[in-house]
Chain A
Amino acid sequence: MTAPPGADPETTAADRHAAGLDGARRLLATVGFYTFCSLVLAFFTVPLLWLASAPFDDTPSVTASLPSFTLANFETLLDNRYAMRSLGNSAVLAAGTGVLVVVCAALAAYALSRVRLPGRDALLYALLLLSSIVTGTAAMVPLFNLAFELDLIDSQLGVILVLSGGLLPSAVFILKDFMDGTPRSYEESAQVFGASPLQVMRHVVVPLVRPGLATIAVWSVAQVWGNFLIPFLLLRSPEKSPAAVVMYTFYTEGGQPDLALISTFSLLYSVPVVLMFLLVSSRYGFRFHGGIKR
Chain B
Amino acid sequence: MADLTLAALTKVYPGGVRALDSVELTVADGEFFALLGPSGCGKTTLLRTLAGLETATSGAVLLGGTDVTAVPPGRRDVAMVFQDYALFPHMTVTDNIAYPLRIRKVPGRERRERAADTAAELGLGDHLGRRPDQLSGGQQQRVALARAMACHPRAFLFDEPLSNLDARMRLEARTFLKRLQRELGVTTVFVTHDQAEALALADRIAVMEQGRIRQLGTPAEVFRRPANTFVASFIGSTPMNLLPGTAEGGAVRVADTALPTPEGLALAEGEKLTYGIRPEYLTFHQEPVAGALAGEVRVVENLGSSQLVTLEGPAGEVRVVVDEDTALAPGTAGHALPRADRALVYRDGELLGPPGYETPATGTRTP
Contact = CB atoms under 8 A, between A and B. Distances in A.
A196 B75 CA distance: 11
Given A188-B53, A199-B103, A193 B86 contact: no
A193 B82 contact: no
Contact of A194 (B84, B89, B103): B103
B282 interface: no
A152 B90 CA distance: 42
Contact of B103 (A183, A185, A193, A207): A193
Contacts of B53: 188, 191-192
A183 B74 contact: no
A204 B102 CA distance: 13
B73 interface: yes
Interface in A161-194: 183, 185-186, 188-194
A191 B80 CA distance: 10
A84 interface: no
Given A188-B53, A189-B80, A195 B86 contact: no
B119 interface: no
A189 B82 contact: yes
B103 A204 contact: no
Q: Is the interface of B mostly helix, strand, loop or mixed?
A: loop
A204 B91 CA distance: 9
Interface size class of B (residues with CB under 8 A): 20 to 34
B83 A192 contact: no
A194 B88 contact: no
A208 interface: yes
Given A185-B83, A188-B82, A193 B100 contact: yes
A83 to B, nearest CB: 42
A71 B145 CA distance: 64
B52 interface: yes
A183 B164 CA distance: 15
Contact of B86 (A188, A199, A203): A188
A193 B74 contact: yes
A185 B85 CA distance: 8
Contact of B78 (A188, A192, A195): A192
B109 interface: no
Q: Report which residue of A193, A194, A195 has the largest number of chain B beta carbons within 10 angstroms of its beta carbon.
A: A193
Contacts of A191: 53, 72-74
Contacts of B76: 192
Contacts of A208: 88-90
Contacts of B86: 183, 185-186, 188-189
Contact of A195 (B51, B74, B83): B74
Nearest to A204: B88
Interface size class of A (residues with CB under 8 A): 10 to 19
Interface string B95-110: 0000110111000000
Contact of B90 (A183, A189, A207): A207
Contacts of A186: 86, 88
Nearest to A182: B89
B104 A194 contact: yes
A190 to B, nearest CB: 7
B35 interface: no
Contacts of B75: 194
A288 B84 CA distance: 26
A183 B86 CA distance: 8
Nearest to A194: B74
B151 interface: yes
B191 interface: no
B235 interface: no
B199 interface: no
B285 to A, nearest CB: 51
Contacts of A203: 88, 99, 102
B44 to A, nearest CB: 11
Contacts of B80: 188-189, 192
A188 B89 CA distance: 15
Q: Report which residue of A183, A189, A191, A203 has the largest number of chain B beta carbons within 10 angstroms of its beta carbon.
A: A189
Nearest to B48: A188
Nearest to B95: A203
Contacts of A204: 88
Contacts of B337: none
8 contacts: A185-B82, A185-B84, A188-B51, A192-B73, A192-B74, A192-B79, A203-B88, A208-B89
Given A185-B83, A204-B88, 11 more contacts: A185-B82, A188-B80, A189-B82, A190-B99, A191-B72, A194-B73, A194-B103, A194-B104, A196-B74, A199-B103, A208-B88
Interface of B: 51-53, 72-76, 78-80, 82-84, 86, 88-90, 99-100, 102-104, 151
6 closest A-B pairs by CB: A194-B74, A189-B86, A185-B86, A193-B100, A207-B90, A185-B82
